[in-house]
Amino acid sequence: MDFRHSQKTIRLKSQMTKLEPPDVHHLLAAIGWVELGNPAEARHELNRISEAHRSHPDVLEGEWRIHAAAKSWTAALQVARRQIQAAKSHPSGWINQSYALHELKQTREAFDQLLPLARRFPKISVIHYNLACYACQLGRLDAAKKSLARAIKHRGKDEIKNLALADADLKPMWRYIRCL
């Protein structure tokens, strides 16, 4: 699982008790299929969730992950916007929206949409990491360095450094990152 998506696990674990069986089981199965690289089976499991829970934030997170795995970024963006409506105070939908926008080559908008979250959720490293990626792609290397430093502060230098050196979005900064 990509670091940019790793914060979603926290969301799922924190909200899982609100879904009752069998819906929670279908959601867990869908996530398992996504992690195994089979979005078709994941979609099948997600479709088995009752209509009453289709707008639950965790179900929407699962649906977003399916679209992301299939690289269906327009559909992922639509789901992320539904996530925001379902849980405005939680960063997951906002992170997913920005990620989808970036993948749709709307990096400026992705950066602008995510930046306010860095202030609201200063300890969530994936927000800072993604901002570093977007800033780097926009040619704003000083902003990228600052965001990367914040990600390191909250996640750890070795982990972020290893991720960053494998991330094509940060390639213009690899020389700098190697020296961290």
At 23, the amino acid letter reads D
94 to 47, 60, 80, 121: CA distances (angstroms): 24, 13, 7, 11
67-112 pLDDT, tens digit each = 999 999 999 999 999 999 999 899 999 999 999 999 999 999 999 9
Sketch the domain layout of the chain as residue ranges.
1-105, 116-180
Tokens of 128: 């800072």
Describe the chain by its helix, strand, coil percentages, rounded to 5: 80, 0, 20
Half-sphere exposure of 15 (CA within 13 A, CB side): 20
Specify the pLDDT at position 109: 98
| Mean pLDDT within 141-150 | 98
CATH number of this structure's domain 1-105, picked from the four choices 1.10.3470, 1.10.10, 1.25.40, 3.30.750: 1.25.40
Does the predicted TM-score (pTM) go above 0.75? yes
